Amino acid sequence: MTLEIITADALGPVQHGFFTRKGGASSGVFHGLNCGKGSSDQSQMVDINRARVAQAMNVATEALATVHQYHSADVHVIDAPLRAPPKADAMVTATKGIALGILTADCQPVLLADPQAGVIGAAHAGWKGALCGILENTIEAMEHLGANRRDITAVIGPSISQRAYEVGPEFFEDFIAEDDSFARFFAQGEGDRMQFDLPAFGLHRLRSAGVAHAEWTRHCTYHDAERFFSYRRSVHAKEADYGRLISTIRL
């Protein structure tokens, strides 16, 4: 099956792609393009999937860089193929021929580029990372490599949408404790439950940081099982594990 790659016109000439689950070698609950080495999928299948992504991005397999994501605000600068994935939730580079890859399954994959400066970034921004500054830190790291935030375009890829993201009062209180104005990213659900708008929050953080342009592709991972993996959907379906989508960008 052919790979399906979602792109954004806003990122212009910079090669990038938000890969769906289509076109992969994995089976079972991982059916499709599961690129998560942290999953319980067969490692050989994950390697095949990642090799297909690397080929689509026109880089060697070892030049597809990913990190050990752990919902932090840590950013890693990549200037050569990685021997082992460092612990971080974002990467930046000014080196040609390296594809930055972010893994997600409801959280926001965010691809960033300043084509004029020749600097790119990729971030994993779940609610925790977005709240503690992963997007701002990625922009700052890009600036250290010569980017200008007023020239940076940022695109949020397939993520869980507000209508699928039910949270409890403690979650809401964590955000309000940070800033009362964050209440606008929540809608009232049933009882004491709330519906959180993760992509809107990500866009707010990006735009407040002063980037030239920020947008969301408007794809919901939860509601489109044929195209996307979803952690929350797998929990509701009582599945043992779930696949990870990959989003990539390269100079």
pLDDT of residue 1: 66
Could you tell me the residue range of the domain that residue 243 belongs to?
5-161+197-250
According to DSSP, the residues that pair with 159 across neighbouring strands are 220
Determine, yes or no, domain membership for 169: no
Give the pLDDT confidence of 151-189 residue by residue, as tens digits: 999 999 999 999 999 999 999 999 999 999 999 999 999
pLDDT tens, position by position, 2-40 = 999 999 999 989 999 999 999 999 999 999 999 999 899
| DSSP-H helix ranges across 195-250 | 198-208, 231-236
Find all residues with CB under 8 Å of 77, minimum gap 6, and list them: 91, 92, 93, 141, 144, 145
Give the SS3 label for residue 95. Answer: coil
Q: Find the CATH number of the domain harbouring 151.
A: 3.60.140.10
User: Considering its fold, how many domains does the chain have in total?
Assistant: 1
Residue 83: predicted pLDDT: 87
Interatomic CA distance for residues 213 and 38, integer angstroms: 33
pLDDT value for 12: 87
Q: Full-prediction pTM beyond 0.95?
A: yes
* Domain assignment present for 177: no
Convert the pLDDT of each residue in 109-156 to its tens digit. 999 999 999 999 999 999 999 999 999 999 999 999 999 999 999 999
Question: Is 166 a member of any domain?
Answer: no
Which SS3 state, helix, strand or coil, does residue 226 take? coil
In a domain, 41, yes or no: yes
In this prediction, residue 114 carries a pLDDT of 98
Which of 74, 113, 106 has the alpha carbon at shortest distance from 202? 106
Q: Is residue 240 part of a domain?
A: yes
Q: Residue 246's pLDDT band (boundaries 50, 70, 90)?
A: very high
Structure tokens at 176: 């309000």
Please report whether residue 46 resides in a domain.
yes
Check if the beta carbon of residue 162 is closer than 8 Å to that of residue 197: yes
DSSP letters spanning 48-85: HHHHHHHHHTTS-GGGEE--B--S---EEE-SS--SSP
Helical spans, DSSP H, in the chain = 43-56, 127-132, 134-144, 169-178, 198-208, 231-236
Please report whether residue 185 resides in a domain: no
Token pair for 115: 């084509």
Q: Is residue 175 part of a domain?
A: no
pLDDT at 223 (0 to 100): 97
